[in-house]
A and B are shown apart, each in its own frame.
Chain A
Amino acid sequence: MQERLKELQAEAIQKVDQSAGLKELNDIRVAYLGKKGPITEVLRGMGKLSAEERPVIGALANEVREAIAAKIEAKQSALEEAAVQEKLAAESIDVTLPGRPVKAGNHHPLTKIIEEIEDLFIGMGYEIAEGPEVEQDYYNFEALNLPKGHPARDMQDSFYITEEILLRTHTSPVQARTMEKHQGKGPIKIICPGKVYRRDNDDATHSHQFMQIEGLVVGENIRMSDLKGTLNVFAKKMFGEDREIRLRPSFFPFTEPSVEMDISCKMCGGHGCNVCKHTGWIEILGAGMVHPNVLEMAGYDSKKYTGFAFGMGPERIAMLKYGVDDIRHFYTNDVRFLNQFAIEE
């Protein structure tokens, strides 16, 4: 009987080893361990055994049973694991396929530049002032020391609607309006961005509509050196810490003295190249000390108050910063142009 049990164990284990699927394994389980299986059969015949043999055979039968059951259990886990593996393998995907696009647009490059400049000056205590695009001749010219018939009015041929109303040629009327609102008191620190209009034929470097961003500071002790320091901070933040600035005397009717600011050319490091017309410098903006006539007209005592102002063209800055070669791109809105400005620098 002992031999029979050992045989059964070896036989069952061999079958388990050879089984290839869960169903087959279950059949083996039923065949060997079921109520009609050979081990039960053996146990049934125990009555014929002596009282000494009975517990020995009983223990052996249980041993065999447990061994077969453990073997089946292990095999089952292995088979299940293989099935899972097979399923996962079947589920594998091509991870190099493109993902589902997340829709996103972005700022127009001019807005990008303007907001960058706004934020830079907000950090220095400036507010953002805005004003009408269709202006009175008074605010656009006269309040800025450009009386009717002034030769400098030629510098910016304008779109008039009537003799007294025109499309503003610069954002400076916002400065005049802000000063007027402050009723002769300081301090004022503002940045004025906006659209302006001039009678120019649209070409690669001219546009009848363009953006301007100006700054104005009025206070009791505002100096030319403050203008120089402010512009230096601006230039370094906007164009890079390694850039140098220089001021050159210039002329604007609303400032005296007037200057233009150049920054050192990044392309050639100041040695001269095509970008900087071999001067090593690139013109960025116009600036100056607010003309006493402008202060007086806005109700300020020019003996007590001084101020500085500066103005620049976001198109020009975008062109320099991003290498855009034609101003018309800003107004054509070709998506192949617009979508290049999605990157946050």
Chain B
Amino acid sequence: MFVSYKWLQEYVDLSGVTPAELAEKITKSGIEVEGVEILNEGIKNVVVGYVVEREQHPNATKLNKCLVDIGEGEPVQIICGAPNVDKGQKVAVAKVGARLPGGVKIKRAKLRGEESNGMICSLQELGIESKLIQKEYSEGIFVFPADAEVGTDALDLLGRDDQILELGLTPNRADCLSMLGVAYEVAAILGREVKLPETNLESAEEKASDYVTVTVEAKEDNPLYVAKVIKNVKISNSPLWMQARLMSAGIRPHNNVVDITNYILLEYGQPLHAFDYDRLGSKQILVRRAADGEKFITLDDVERTLTSDHLVITNGKEPVALAGVMGGANSEVTSDTTTVLLESAYFNGATIRKASKDHGLRSEASARYEKGIDPNRVRPAGERAAYLMAKYAGGEVLEGTAEVDVLTVEPAVVSITLEKINRVLGTDIQMKEVKDIFDRLQFDAVIEDDTITVTAPTRRGDIKIEEDLIEEVARLFGYDNIPYTLPIGSTTPGKLSEYQKKRRVVRQFLEGAGLYQAVTYSLTSEQKAAQFALENRDTIRLAMPMSEDRSVLRLSILPQLLEVLKYNSARQNDSLAVYETGNVFLANGTDVQPEESEHLAAAITGLWHHHSWQGEKKPVDFFVAKGILEGLFDRLGLTNRVEYVQAQVEGMHPGRTAEIRLNGAKIGFVGQVHPSVQKEFDLKDTYVFELSLKAVLNEETNALQYQSIPRFPSITRDIALVADKETVSGSLKSIILEAGAPLLKDAEVFDLYQGDKMEAGKKSIAFSLKYMDPERTLTDEEVTKVHDRVLNALAEKAGAVLRG
């Protein structure tokens, strides 16, 4: 809502309060003033001039040579390019030395050989937006009414000597969608009076009810419909001050009748509609729901197809307006209109909201109905509009109204104790102060002992319960005056859950290992959503996505991380490691909340280690990725429960991918991205893993228990084995550990050879075996006995023999 400071002064005395001060006060007590615009900022020396003569410029067909009286002695010659400039007009003249918006300075000039002493201005040139300028003048200069005095300040006449407060209204404060509403608010803040606008209707012989009858079928949608009839109106421009006020509020002027309805909309917050009575085609108004498929052309000349959700005003047969949203082209006021039927009605907000949404028509009127209007202003607003039509359109207002009224208006009555106010706010406010606040708000308030009973005026539909009263007290008492305290009473221990604690450990470990944390979008494309998914589930699609790229919830994180690598690679960062922890979404059937599972994914590409001046360069490989996972599981105490099994995963390298198992169950995978997918993302060799973090973090870890440090030395025996190429080191290790228990403590691969010195189909793999007894020093014979057992087991179970 744009509020003119000058206009507001008609209802509240603002003396001693500058616009900036007023803005600050309003903001602090409840409504955010988002800006204060000074309308004539940077403009000076623009006056009303009278065009005495106009002829075509001798050297330019599109220019006019004008002689203009600017009230300073002899008329001056001004060259003007506006197509509509003419002799006898009163126009805005920027004199030599004038300043216009954007730092423009007007100088004496010669245009095509002719002297020009100033500039005849359009409204755009005076800083008014094109969309706010009456159509007649939007392509040329503005023409003032004939009574404008030559030499006076043109900007003052245009009401530009004003400042506009831009109110950012929250949905509960629809009352401030009107100047009167703002006036009540400002009056409460300043502790001053509200002056109501004047309505002074003369009595007439003819009655409105002789001209029209009103019937409402849909009484729930429209419990109150008031029609007034004004005849003998003369359509012309509305007075300049009214046009100026409309423009400053963001509404384009049209003609006196339409401008008056818009003016009342701004003043009372009550939408009105003016029909051309003679074009209605009947003497009745019937309000009903539209029929499904019923067609109707609104005054923007668009044919609308209606449904039974929409409320229409009809002439008994066909619609003449889409109620509360827009009038019809068939009954619009034109320059020939002589009799106006003025509608002032109370429509149900939800009905209007549906119609404006369905047809994409959000207007100043529909916005107010949707948020709720003051039922007690429907009549006065209509009366005042009729009065203004008599005054500024020369009309005769017929006696009375034609109407339907089944609206019951019950103001909210709310009681609250002083104790409750102070208990909720933590204050020590006195009853006298509370009463004073409600007096300033012009709410009826009655005190009985500790209780105050407040009757909220109908303009404040947001006041319903005790807490609403507490809010009114708090904001006018001032939040600055509320003390600082901390909650008292029983305390709670602040802490992270086990899961949250371990998640932080995971993040810190991965970052310590060299990975950057990324955060990516949950919404992705259908194609990417299921790529690398751990579980085969249906994708979950938005009902109305904004774009195909963000239409489906992800089942995996990796595609997004590959995007991140791609983005960075394209920017000269082709060696990079990132990880993300975040939810993936697993469908559980339609209309059921999906299962959300927190995943951990990482992607590493390019060089893992690079120390250039020492010539060290090592690209990432499978064992880098696996090593990070091993370190992580070590940190979480899960190493003994995790195994890696060669596996095939869609999108992954078929020979370089392992499934990760926790207690034997698959929880994720690690490996190289398939070369064709790498190519798709323009990536070098890229290694990744993705796993269910939920499964990992929900796994209970054993309590930490100290193991005594061995006091006796261990004995190490190295063996080089020849085994089939397909035999994996993991299974050899298992055989070794099993056969060597309990003296054998560890077996570690230290060499692997599968080159051409080996027999075809064979490889050489060497292990270092560590024997130890915590209680004594082992003898060579003891070790040899166990060691032979190990060698026998290897030969028997895996056909692996010592290399000769």
Interface residues in chain A, defined as those with a beta carbon under 8 Å from any beta carbon in chain B:
97-98, 100-101, 103-108, 110-111, 115, 118, 121-128, 130, 132-136, 149, 151-152, 154-155, 159-165, 167, 186-189, 195, 197, 199, 201, 208-209, 217, 219-226, 228-230, 232-233, 246-251, 256-260, 289, 291-292, 306, 330-336, 338-339
Across the interface, which residues of B come within 8 angstroms of A223, CB to CB?
423-426, 485
B486 nearest in chain A by CB position: A229
Selected interface stretch from B248-256, B296-304, B565-573, B766-774 = B565-573
A247 B568 Cβ-Cβ under 8 A? no
Contact among A107, A219, A251, A257 with B517 in the assembled complex (CB-CB below 8 Å): A107
User: Which B residues are in CB contact (< 8 Å) with A188?
Assistant: 492
A106 touches B485 (CB 8 A): no
A101: which B residues are within 8 A, CB to CB?
610-611
Chain A residues closer than 8 Å to B510, beta-carbon distance: 105
Q: Which of B490-517 contact A (CB under 8 A)?
A: 490-497, 500, 504, 507, 510-517
Stretch from B2-10, B28-36, B109-117, B197-205 forming part of the interface with A: B28-36
- Identify the interface centre among A124, A151, A165, A186: most chain B CB within 10 Å of its CB: A151
Assess whether A151 is in contact with B370, with CB atoms less than 8 Å apart. Answer: yes
Q: Is A125 touching B544 in the complex (CB atoms < 8 A)?
A: no
B330 to chain A, nearest CB (A): 31
Identify which of B31, B494, B511, B592 contacts A123 (C-beta below 8 A).
Answer: B494
Contacts of B564 in A (CB 8 A): 333
**Residue of A whose beta carbon sits closest to that of B370:** A151
Q: Contact between B471 and A189 (Cβ–Cβ < 8 Å)?
A: no
Query: What's the least CB distance linking B426 to chain A, in Å?
Result: 3
Residue-by-residue, is B341-355 near A (CB-CB < 8 Å gives 1, otherwise 0)? 000000001100100
Other-chain residue from B423, B467, B480 in contact with A256 (beta carbon distance below 8 A): B467
B515 touches A228 (CB 8 A): no
User: What are 21 A-B residue pairs whose CB atoms fall within 8 Å in the complex?
Assistant: A104-B512, A105-B516, A105-B577, A107-B517, A122-B496, A124-B494, A125-B492, A127-B492, A127-B496, A127-B497, A134-B585, A159-B542, A161-B543, A165-B593, A197-B523, A219-B487, A219-B489, A225-B427, A226-B485, A228-B479, A250-B32
- B467-A257 in contact (CB<8A): yes
Q: Flag if A222 contacts B517 (CB, 8 Å).
A: no
Is there contact, CB below 8 Å, between A128 and B500? yes
Q: Is the CB of A107 within 8 A of B29?
A: no
Check if B716 is an interface residue, CB within 8 A of chain A. no
Residues of A contacting B423 in the complex (Cβ-Cβ under 8 angstroms): 221, 223, 306
Give A111 to B467 CA distance when docked, in angstroms: 36
Interface string of B13-34 (1 = CB under 8 A from A): 0000000000000011111100
Contact B546 A201 (CB under 8 A): yes
Contact present for B482 and A224 (CB under 8 Å):
yes
Q: Chain B: how many interface residues by the 8 Å CB criterion?
A: 95
A258, B492: Cβ atoms closer than 8 Å: no
Contacting pair B517 A134 (CB below 8 A): no
B613 at the interface (CB under 8 A from A): yes
A104's contact among B468, B492, B511, by CB below 8 Å, is which? B511
- Contacts A229-B484, A247-B479, A331-B519 given; does A134 touch B593 at CB 8 Å: yes
Are B479 and A335 in contact, CB atoms less than 8 angstroms apart?
A: no
- Chain B hits for A195, CB < 8 A: 522, 582-583
Judge whether B553 is part of the interface by a CB distance below 8 angstroms: yes
Q: Which of B54-62, B166-174, B438-446 lies at the interface?
A: B166-174
Contact of B567 with A105 in the complex, beta carbons under 8 Å: no
Q: Is the CB of A292 within 8 A of B467?
A: yes
| Contact mask for chain B residues 590-623; partner A; CB cutoff 8 A; 1 contact, 0 none | 1111101000000000000111011000000000
CB distance from B316 to the nearest CB of A (A): 31
Chain B residues within 8 Å of A107, by CB: 507, 511, 517
Task: Please give the distance in Å from B609's CB to the nearest CB on chain A.
Answer: 8
Q: Which secondary structure dominates where chain B touches chain A?
A: mixed
- Which chain B positions have C-beta within 8 A of A132? 593, 596
Q: Please measure, in the bound complex, the distance between the C-alpha atom of A330 and the C-alpha atom of B517, giving whole angstroms.
A: 11
* Residue of chain B at shortest CB distance from A290: B467
B511 contacts across to A, CB distance below 8 A: 104-107
Residues of B near A232 (CB, < 8 A) are: 484
B496-A108 in contact (CB<8A): no
Identify which of residues 459-473 in chain B touch chain A, using a CB-to-CB cut-off of 8 Å: 465-468, 470-471
Q: Are B494 and A292 in contact (CB under 8 A)?
A: no
Q: Give bound CA distance, A339 to B515, whole Å.
A: 10
Contact among B171, B370, B479, B542 for A249, CB-based, below 8 A: B479
Known pairs A104-B511, A338-B517; A187 contacts B593 (CB<8 A): no
List chain A residues, Cβ under 8 A from B320.
none
Cβ contacts under 8 Å, A189 to chain B:
487, 492, 494
B27-A248 in contact (CB<8A) = yes
Query: Is A259 in contact with B514, judged by CB distance below 8 angstroms?
Result: no
On whether the beta carbons of B465 and A289 are closer than 8 Å, the reply is: no
Contact status of A334 and B567, CB under 8 A, knowing A105-B510, A225-B427: yes
Q: Which residue of A lies closest to B496 (CB)?
A: A128
Q: Give the residue name and chain of the A residue nearest to B575 (CB).
A: A335
**A151-B349 contact given A103-B514, A128-B500, A247-B479, CB 8 Å threshold:** yes
In this assembly, does B182 line the interface, its C-beta being within 8 Å of a C-beta of chain A? no
Contact A115 B484 (CB under 8 A): no
CA distance A249 to B468 in the complex (A): 12
Q: Residues of A contacting B121 with CB < 8 Å?
A: none
Closest 8 CB pairs of A and B: A225-B426, A103-B514, A251-B170, A223-B426, A257-B471, A247-B479, A249-B30, A105-B516
CB-defined contacts of A121 to chain B, threshold 8 Å: 494
B475 with A97: CB separation less than 8 A: no
- Contact A164 B591, beta carbon cutoff 8 Å: yes
Given contacts A107-B517, A246-B479, A250-B170, whether A222 and B523 have CB atoms under 8 Å apart is no
Contact B424 A127 (CB under 8 A): no
A152 to B370, CA, bound (A): 11
A21 to B480, CA, bound (A): 90
Q: Bound complex: CA of A309 vs CA of B371, how far in Å?
A: 26
Instruction: Indicate if the CB atoms of B585 and A208 lie closer than 8 Å.
Output: no
B474 at the interface (CB under 8 A from A): yes
CA A309 – CA B499 in complex, angstroms? 25
User: A251 near B171 (CB under 8 angstroms)?
Assistant: yes
